[in-house]
Chain A
Amino acid sequence: MLKCLDHLAESSRSAFLSAAFLLALAVFAPLTFAQDQPAPPLTDSTGEATATPLAPVPPTAVTAIDRPNDAGGAITISWELSTDDAAGRVTEYKILRAEGAADGPGPFTEIGNATAGQNRFEDGNVEDDRVYFYKVAALNTLRENGITLTETTVESDVVGPVESHAQWFNTGRSRVLVGVLILSGLIIFYIQRARAGREIFIRKIAGLEAVDEAVGRATEMGKKIFYIPGSQDMDNVQTLAGITILGRVAELAAQYETHLEVPVSRSLVMVTSREVVKEAYIKAGRTDSYNDDQVKYLTDDQFGYAAAIDGMVVRERPATIFLMGSFYAEALVLAETGNSVGAIQIAGTGQPSQLPFFVAACDYTLIGEELFAASAYLSKEPRQLGSLKGQDVGKGLILVAIAIGIILETLHIWDVSKLFTVID
């Protein structure tokens, strides 16, 4: 009986061990012998199982032309996409180039590539007046886990010969030329008319009319005038326009014997402003009152300039502040500080994004073109006024063109709009 029980226990233990062994085998065998499993089938970019990728249809209608409207040194290659491109059987295009030899193209070398879906390539590494030939090859690459296994390349026909040249006229800008000629012609025409003695009516510009009042206020209060000609250098026309108005303000300040201070952010602006202020004081007969240090350089740094002027404004509390020229983010910082000390402020800029800030924080604002008109307006010199008339007539022509354009666009006639297209 005991023997029988022992046998039974022995059998159960053997069965248990066998079951445990089989379970372990089932769990670990796949891991142990994983490297012996067959590799997944090779696929091309479409996922089809294949040993080598399918050869794509080559790109067609390949053209190579001298890039238009440039200074030479570039050829534009374009092609129609392979019909296999959309199906994903093209992974990229390779551009091959050969230099021209006596008996045709020499050996081709790869000069660049374009991703699938692109049909244009700029070869910017060519020499002018040298002959080149091009081919475009479509590639279908077989990859596995990011590794290129094989690739199939199909080349287009050879195109060429083609040479690059520098052009003498940028035809894409011909419409700009027409516009410049018309506008300049109008301005010159009205300058001549004004020179001949024709009277020219100019509407009142409130901001410029207020210049006398603003200078007078500073005189009455016995306080300083600050003139800030913007944060840009002399290569900016807005700075030039600002310095032009400075001449008039300096002359008035000299006449009223009011102290004028011009903090600038550029050395060249400092030199020019000194010359303008000095001339204005001479013109007003107050040469002795002029001091070079009235025009002082602060810093080229945008916010350093704003911080320095803010400090001066808060400490010295000027009665009048002029902000005339090109301003960026410092515009509101300066204008609000001036506003906080109760100064009368006249601002003008050609930066559309800063104009709302000046309108909100200053008493008078010269909006864009008014800044450029200031010189003519203040000097009342006939030739300068004539240029304003020409400018206004130009504006009238543009308004008419816009009105015609709106009507034709509404009627789905696009020809007029195309006349204003500039190809760069």
Chain B
Amino acid sequence: MNSKVASDRQSWPKADFSRVPYEVFTDANIYRLENERIFRGPVWNYLCHEVELPQVGSFVTTWVGDTQVVVTRAEDESIHAFENSCAHRGAQLVTAVRGHAKSLTCPYHLWSYSLKGELTGVPLLKGLKGKGGMPASFQKADHGLNVLKVQTHGGLIFGSFHDDPPDLKTFLGPHSLSQIDRLLVQRKPKVLGYLRQRIPGNWKLYNENVRDPYHGSLLHQFQVSFGLQQPTMKGGIKLDTELKNTWNHSILSDTDKDNQALVAQAYEGTGKFNPNMKMADPSLINVPLDLGDGYKTTILSIFPTLIVAQVDNTYAIRHLRPKGTDGVELHITYLGFESDTPEQTHDKLLTANFIGPSGYISLEDGEALRLVQQGIRQRRPGGHEVLEMGGVGPIQDTDYLSQEISIRGFWQYYHQIMGLGNDQPLGETQ
């Protein structure tokens, strides 16, 4: 390819990441690189929560990028993670999503593994009557499952394929650490259920979505119609030093009720503002916030695939499981707390109507991402997003919500970890 054509397709058109080339959402080569450089790169991938492994022998299957991973609790209570693929001929080892086992046995040739992923049994290892069997050089110790490094923080279990992953707490950053304490440690969580949403959009579109408070009160009209979220609310974003992890928060104050004129102004020309709507049964929107610290919404987004979210009185761990360039499973672990009264548990089952694939405040994200993926698939190379809301230039914390700055932070880190240049066509990145 001559250099002129290449320069027309520069990977990142602006140094402040206020443009994002659409190829990052559609190019199969980039997707392949993401699996190598991000999901098997120097990051900590969320796997599952410790309460999902309540006893010795508990296991859960999860995903790290394209790779299915089994997470176990071994006899000494330690937690282990390994690829769900037999060391012998590669067969998927565990087919259940979760369960309990003393050891793991491949159905094909019955090779068996300990809960730590060590190969413990090979049928006919020595052959029969002096014939067959494995050669003398075969050592079981050399044929364990492909394990990930595992670390935990605040009950969250993380795994890394990388030889030299960063320090976990440094990787998470101070805002993540304090929010994990606030949401997952000060009360002991319990799982109330799972929700799964197959969104026909690239996994990074969801990362943009959760770093985008600009859309919150525009796409999600339910919140605005019933006063849960308004563009006039106080709030802001905080980033970690690498700009990859974002904490968005909003606080609804008493004065917001008097801000209807300002809200109407914000919606001018959209035909969307619907201030006089009433619910037939408002119990859903009247559930009190049981943390009592005034935060209406807090979204903690941790690179690459974890979101710990409080939306009103709902608490959930959202995990992104990429499915090729054009799809992602949004896997939601919906939480209550051991200290909840029966009324509080009922309230959480009620407010579950806010979130997930049928959520009044979230079902639209699935549709928005589908529409973006549909739209960008048709674009010629050279097309790009425009991220200028809230300002261009430096990527920094804000004390306002109408911004896309935190999305630019995500892209800066993505660009760095992917090793993308500024003068090379993305589709030809090697």
Partners in one complex: no
Report which B residues bind A (CB closer than 8 A). Answer: none
Interface residues of A (CB under 8 A from B): none
